[in-house]
Chain A
Amino acid sequence: MNYEYLLASIFLVPVAVYRVAAATQKRRTGSTGMAVALSGMSLFCLAKSFAPALDRLSPPNLSFLLWHLSALAGISGVRMLVRAARPDGITHRQVRRLICVGVYVILTYLVLFIVAPKRPGAESLYVDGQLHPVLYVMKVMFNGYMLIGLVDLLRLSLIGARRSGHRATRLGLGIAAVGLCGAVLSGTAGLIRQTLSLWHVDSLGWRWLPALDGVAATAVGFGCLIPPVADLIGRWRTSKRWHSPLQSLWSTLTERIPDVVLPPPNVRTPLGRTEMAIVRYQAEIADALNEVRLTDPGREDWLLAQPDPSLALGGILREPDAWSTDPTGSNSIVALMIADGQALDIRSVADGFQTGGQHADSLA
């Protein structure tokens, strides 16, 4: 068993499964391209990991065929992704062309494999110093197609690592670019090695190539995993920050104004449920505040004179006797704020409700 590839598989397989699930939901060319690319890389690493077991099966050199076909499929996915990420996007015609080229390359490689001389039990068809012309064509075809895809992706990753507005994306694409540099180096070195072997020139110490492949694949997988994980962490932190303050304000208001409450929409994930609850709390708090009047009209002028009326309103709402929902008499506090040109900020109201009308920072 090749442990470098097994390690890469452990990283890549979950990423590929996640990407396939995402692509199934999104149905966009870029997402599909990324899912095909990562699936190809995962299968490549799995075929390399379990090569000895696969090579005991029929036909001979099955692992060699599988990892080459997986890699070619992955490269086709990469090319689709790179085209979809261009500013002008990708047309259906271009997608069809990329698919046709990918299928052509894979089928041609399969035919070449069928006619190439086999080496039962061996991990590779190539023998140093005895390169068959068909095998050399296979090598040039595979490495050439791989280098086209890798260089395109490397250029796009470097642009993303420099220009993206998201720190996690810059980091993820930077790590992926390092991995891609390794992959380009490995692909180029492999081609040089085979070419040199035609002239019986070798013994340059090429045993580092499989390790480089494994490190490169791991870096790419890890880099691709960073943005969605960082996105999840960011969403979780935002939800954690706002759920509790909004919930306590919402509970107080809806206890006295219950008819603004909508039964919560059904959401599958806990994080999605929390985010949906935050959206509803804000909507229902705003609806409830349209009903709120201050019992002491003298406090209305004081409130509107505050530097942050929304924060001050939160402080007032802590006092049960300071406000009512009686529609007679003065206008609602929201109507007064709008008439005064003040914007109602629900999150500031929630903060004020928690802190008694002071900025949370000033209490720290």
Chain B
Amino acid sequence: MIVVQAGEHGARRDLIIAHELGHLLLGHVDDLRAAGQVAGDVMLCRKRYSTDNERAAETLATRLAAYRARSLDVDDSPAGRVSDFMR
């Protein structure tokens, strides 16, 4: 489960969610379990970028956010699809 602070919205909320998904996609939870540092349920939170895992998750989230920012105005009609093929 991903929890976002009340009041966060739009691109910022997406970035926070993408950061946590980044941890899952990059296998950080499995790494922690394999290292014996945690057992059972794991709780991660978005904090400073002092560790490699935090930097990697935030970098992936930033790339997803930048991609999303460019894709927001895609037109999903047949014309939009042709236009999308042209981009």
Contact = CB atoms under 8 A, between A and B. Distances in A.
A133 interface: no
A337 B59 CA distance: 28
Contacts of B69: 275, 279
A120 to B, nearest CB: 42
B6 interface: yes
B62 to A, nearest CB: 6
Interface of A is mostly: helix
Given A31-B85, A227-B83, A262-B49, A86 B78 contact: yes
Contacts of B83: 160, 164, 166, 169, 172-173, 227
A264 to B, nearest CB: 9
Given A265-B59, A286-B12, A235 B78 contact: no
A91 B36 CA distance: 47
A28 B77 contact: no
Contact of B85 (A84, A159, A343): A84
B9 interface: yes
A228 B87 contact: yes
A160 B79 contact: yes
Interface in A243-297: 259-263, 265, 272, 275-276, 279-280, 282-283, 286
Interface residues of B, number: 32
Contacts of B59: 262, 265
A163 interface: yes
A224 B83 CA distance: 9
A166 B75 contact: yes
A52 B77 CA distance: 45
A265 B70 contact: no
Given A262-B58, A283-B62, A30 B81 contact: yes
Nearest to A161: B79
B63 A85 contact: no
B78 A265 contact: no
A33 B80 CA distance: 16
Contacts, number: 113
B63 to A, nearest CB: 6
Contacts of B15: 279, 283
Given A85-B81, A163-B77, A224 B86 contact: yes
A276 B86 contact: no
Contacts of A87: 78
A162 B65 CA distance: 31
A298 interface: no
Interface in A2-28: 22, 28
B47 to A, nearest CB: 9
B75 A164 contact: yes
A81 interface: yes
Contacts of B11: 279, 282
B66 interface: yes
A165 interface: yes
Interface string A81-101: 100111100000000000000
B7 interface: yes
A156 interface: yes
Given A85-B85, A173-B82, A279 B77 contact: no
B85 A262 contact: no
Contact of A275 (B6, B9, B50, B66): B66
B77 A164 contact: yes
Contact of B62 (A224, A227, A265): A265
24 contacts: A30-B85, A85-B78, A86-B78, A157-B82, A161-B79, A162-B79, A163-B77, A164-B75, A164-B79, A164-B80, A165-B77, A166-B83, A169-B83, A169-B86, A227-B83, A231-B87, A262-B49, A262-B59, A265-B59, A282-B12, A283-B12, A283-B15, A338-B7, A343-B7
What are the nearest 10 A-B pairs in CB distance? A160-B79, A338-B7, A30-B85, A164-B79, A169-B83, A227-B86, A85-B81, A259-B48, A165-B75, A279-B66
